Amino acid sequence: MAATGGEQTSAEFIQHHMTNLSIGEGFWTLHIDTLLFSIGLGVVFCYFLWRMAKKADTGVPSWSVNLAEMAFEFIDNTVKDFFGESRRDIGSLALTIFLWVLLWNTMDLIPVSLLPDIAGQFGVPYLKIVPSTDVNATFALSITVVSLMYIYAFKANHGFFGLIKSMGTHPFEAQSLVLKIILFPINFALRIIEDFAKIISLALRLFGNLFAGELVFVLIALLPFYIQFIPGGPWAIFHILVVTLQAYIFMILTVVYMSMAESH
């Protein structure tokens, strides 16, 4: 797209749509759009589940109640597979992550210029509507998951010293006390590296897939409007699978990490 008058070049169009609305500088920069959409979507799914819970005991269930029950049973069965029983705490965490990340990702299916153009009419220079295309959001979620893993491990190992002991004896355990002492710092260092890898892999897997998908939609938006549906339609259909799969992967890995924390 060549620049003509007030029009944007292709590079400017892409940069504009991939830039967050932010305040502050450096480490203290806040991405306002990510925060607003994340909080808003969280309120949406909490309200939806609250409404479905109220409707569940009244007559024949509607399609929305059936949908909510299917999501609940799916998460509950997943938790049972790893823990051997229903767990209200783990199930609530898994359901929250699955639905929240799913809604994050679903924002990627909204036409890329729709909300930014509307916001621009009110003087908002940038608006990035997909929280999972912001690495700050995905890292915040992955750090929270790993932090909760440590809390569960702390509880399962009966305190701080039990937690440190478990971190220094897994994954390689020795029968001899001397070997345990020798291997302790190695095991402990490997465990710290492993947990940092969990944070990075959780965050970047979600961010990378959704950022790439959003970038493809932005590139499609550069095409003439009368042919955008040709590549855009199939890509949107395929992206529905990506949106759901990434939410499922994040959820299932969260349950796996929680079960590993308690097993140690």
Helices (H), 157-224: 160-169, 177-221
Which one of 51, 201, 259, 263 is the catalytic residue?
A: 201
Structural domain contains residue 167 = yes
Number of domains within the chain: 1
- When mean pLDDT is compared across 105-114, 134-143, 223-232, 235-244, the lowest value belongs to 223-232
For the chain, what percent of residues have pLDDT higher than 90? 49
- 51 as an active site residue: the answer is no
Q: Are 136 and 31 in contact (CB under 8 A)?
A: yes
Does residue 243 surpass a pLDDT of 70? yes
Question: Residue 68 CB: number of other CB atoms within 10 A?
Answer: 22
pLDDT for residue 50 is more than 80: yes
User: Residue 4 domain-assigned?
Assistant: no
| pLDDT tens profile 120-176 | 999 999 999 999 999 999 999 999 999 999 998 888 877 887 778 777 666 556 556
User: What whole-number distance in Å separates Cα of residue 138 and Cα of residue 200?
Assistant: 9
Q: Is position 50 within any domain? A: yes
pLDDT beyond 90 at 246 = yes
Residue 6 resides in a domain: no
227 assigned to some structural domain:
yes
- Tokens representing 248 are 């499922």
Give buried/exposed letters for 1-21 (b at 16+ CB in 10 A, else e): eeeeeeeeeeeebbebbeebb
168 contacts: CB under 8 Å, gap ≥ 6: 183, 184, 185, 187, 188, 191
Q: Which of 187, 205, 259, 263 is catalytic?
A: 205
Expressed as residue numbers, the domain containing 106 is 11-23+30-263
Identify the active-site residue in 176, 209, 259, 263.
209
Q: What is the three-state SS of 101-145?
A: HHHHHHHHHCCCCHHHHHHHCCCCCCCCCCHHHCHHHHHHHHHHH
* CA nearest neighbour of 130 among 243, 251, 9: 243
Average pLDDT over residues 48-65: 76
How far is residue 203's CA from residue 135's CA, in Å, rounded to a whole number?
7
**Catalytic residue status for 205:** yes
Q: What is the pLDDT of residue 54?
A: 80
pLDDT band at 2 (very low <50, low <70, confident <90, very high): very low
Name the residue type at position 132: S
Confirm if 20 and 120 have CB atoms less than 8 A apart: no
- The reply to whether 3 falls in a domain is no
Residue 216: CB atoms within 10 A of its CB come to: 17
Give the model's confidence band at 100: pLDDT under 50 very low, under 70 low, under 90 confident, else very high: very high
> Is residue 2 in some structural domain?
no
Give the DSSP H/E element, type plus range, for residue 252: helix 229-263
Task: Report whether pLDDT(113) > 80.
Answer: yes
